[in-house]
Structure 1
Amino acid sequence: MKELLHPICHEWANRCNTHGILMIEKTACHAATTDTFDVVLLVIVDPQSEPMLLRQYSLNEKKAVLYAVSERQLNEWLVLGSHRKAVDWVFNGKVVFDRNGYVQQLRQRLEQFPPKERRLKMGLEFAKLIRRYTDGKALFAAKHWLDSYNHMVQALHHLARLTVIEHGLYPEVTVWNQVKRMDGRIYKLYEELVGSEEPLPKRLELLLLASEFLIHSYVESGSSHLCEALKEKNGTWSIEEMTGHPQFAPYSVDLVIMLEYLVERKVLTVVEMPTKGNTMFERYYTLQKKNFDGPLPLILKSGRDR
């Protein structure tokens, strides 16, 4: 079918706003990356174009899908993790068209994983991890075992992705294959949660204890991006100011629970300001004094094994 897609590729390659075209074919080992389609075409266009155009084709029981995405939309997918398969597409897709080496440069940038993007990506995964862990812990306390199990499985996935990012790589669809090479502790926790013959409450109890220690070890690197953003302004931040600021927008609904976790860990301090009636106080956040001096480091491990 890929031969029959050549006219479509040729049409897009002739457009002046097309940067590159990648073709991803379904294989037995990588069927999950193509969403059951036999071929995925990823067309990258300039950032001023429409965010995404989606088209589907079929011929002789074969089917293909075309994603024409703007450079801006693709970067959002890669950095925010809103389309996890895009990483596999960019790294493993066959280059059909590459204007002025755009795709090659994109791959090089992803390989280097710029520290700024890495801090943001770690912060987002850390916030999601806190959300899942906190909810899983509360459900465990209420003896809702299956609901707690669901949240803790998701928490482990976020913990796994954090580990991959810390090693300087983008999390892929097969993230557990990556983690198995990087951190045996997290992989073992996942195995014990989903495969142990222990009663479910016992498995969850042990996992909650082990996870708390591992999460604590990521506080500094996981909060680095958020703390750097808070340092843009001396003084305190209201939650209204943060939700309206572009630096905090990617955290979305997980921002509040992450802030409260960082207060518990004494990374942030809550300052109460009186309201007009002086009967209620509004909560503001600020970095603890020890976090004001000097840049916040992002300690990364080496691990460029792809």
Structure 2
Amino acid sequence: MDDILRPLYQERTSQQNTMGVIVIEKKENEASFTESFDVILLIIVKEAESPVFIKQYIYGDKKAALYTVTEAQLEEWLLLGNNRKFIEWLYHGKVLFDRNEYVFHMKQEMREFPFFGRKIKMAIEFSKLIRRWTYGRDFFKNGHYLDAYNHVMHSLHHLARLAVIENGFYPEVTVWLQVKQMEPEIYKLYEELLTSDEELEKRLELLFIAIDFLIHSRTENGADHLLSILKEKEAWSFQELLNHPEINYYAVDLSVLLEYLVGKSFVEEQQVQTKGQGIYHRYYRVTNE
């Protein structure tokens, strides 16, 4: 295999723009891991016209795909966790070329999971969790049980990923295997949702109570990134928070997250007078302890 595919990447290794080359081979009974290709070649570059460029090949009766990915794109995926297959490929792949130990240090960072990146990832998962849980609860109250079920399922996934991050690990594609070992209580809720003989309404009612408790116990950690930013000054407008470069990673869920934190007394509103009589700007600040 190496001899056949070497011409695809060998010339790249002499270019200063190439930081690393990784090969990922198809696992037996896990064709989805490499998207049904026999081999994936992942080339990491400093710069490119497109952040991701893909070529596909055939050799004999086999298929190969070559992905060229920029450093910036890969680092964004590592932070946000929104393209897990690349994270898995980077973590499990065999290194064929590594300029200045770039890939080695990136793999080391994944294993050690720096605290700063962990705080942001927890904020991202927690904000998604709050949105799904809030929407699911509202659907449940209005008798839309199938829609509520869908949101509870997503809530549990975000809760599972949050728990894995809390334990200092990157959530993998097989996140439920990780959670079963680290947080069996959350895994049992997932099983309960899927396999319980209870009627759907009763099953959801019990799960909302359990998830509510688990969310409450994780609020301080999950919201720590946002709360630490709020503490940087007396009060913030919503737009000021949206403009913060770190909050931008979970800006889409910021409004729902703030409402939750206000409701749980972690954050309080501050009214600032406008030119209109009886109308105030709404600002946010951390509740005084």
TM-score norm. by structure 2 comes to 0.95
- Contact in 2 for aligned 1:33/1:173 (Cα 8 Å): no
Matches within 5 A, 1:8-157: 8-46=8-46, 50-157=50-157
Which consecutive aligned stretches of 4+ in structure 1 deviate over 6 angstroms post-superposition? none
Amino acid at match of 1:55: K
- In the alignment, does 2:236 pair up with 1:253? no
CA displacement 1:17-61 (0-9 Å, x = unmatched):
111111111213543322222222211112677422222223445
Give the secondary-structure state (helix, strand or coil) at the position aligned to 1:164.
helix
Stretches of structure 1 that go unaligned for 5 or more consecutive residues are 291-306
How many percent identity over aligned positions?
A: 49
Q: Which moved more, 1:3-12 or 1:70-79?
A: 3-12
- Contact in 1 for aligned 2:17/2:47 (Cα 8 Å): no
Amino acid at match of 2:144: H
- Contact in 1 for aligned 2:19/2:98 (Cα 8 Å): yes
Q: Which moved more, 1:46-55 or 1:145-154?
A: 46-55
- In the alignment, does 2:201 pair up with 1:196? no
Residue aligning to 2:273: 274
In structure 1, distance between residues paired with 2:60 and 2:136 = 47
Q: Which moved more, 1:135-144 or 1:206-215?
A: 135-144
Residue aligning to 2:287: 288
Amino acid at match of 1:262: L
- Contact in 2 for aligned 1:43/1:67 (Cα 8 Å): yes
Q: Root-mean-square deviation (CA), in Å?
A: 1.6
- Contact in 1 for aligned 2:273/2:281 (Cα 8 Å): yes
Q: Are the structure 2 counterparts of residues 280 and 166 from structure 1 closer, same or farther at C-alpha, using a change threshold of 3 Å?
A: same
Q: Are the structure 2 counterparts of residues 200 and 166 from structure 1 closer, same or farther at C-alpha, using a change threshold of 3 Å?
A: same
Q: Using the TM superposition, give the Cα deviation of residue 91 of structure 1 relative to its aligned residue in structure 2, in angstroms.
A: 1.2
- Contact in 1 for aligned 2:26/2:34 (Cα 8 Å): yes
Give the secondary-structure state (helix, strand or coil) at the position aligned to 2:4.
coil
Q: Are the structure 2 counterparts of residues 255 and 141 from structure 1 closer, same or farther at C-alpha, using a change threshold of 3 Å?
A: same
- Contact in 2 for aligned 1:229/1:247 (Cα 8 Å): no
- Contact in 2 for aligned 1:49/1:70 (Cα 8 Å): no
Q: Using the TM superposition, give the Cα deviation of residue 101 of structure 1 relative to its aligned residue in structure 2, in angstroms.
A: 1.5
In structure 2, distance between residues paired with 1:45 and 1:231 = 38
Residue aligning to 2:5: 5
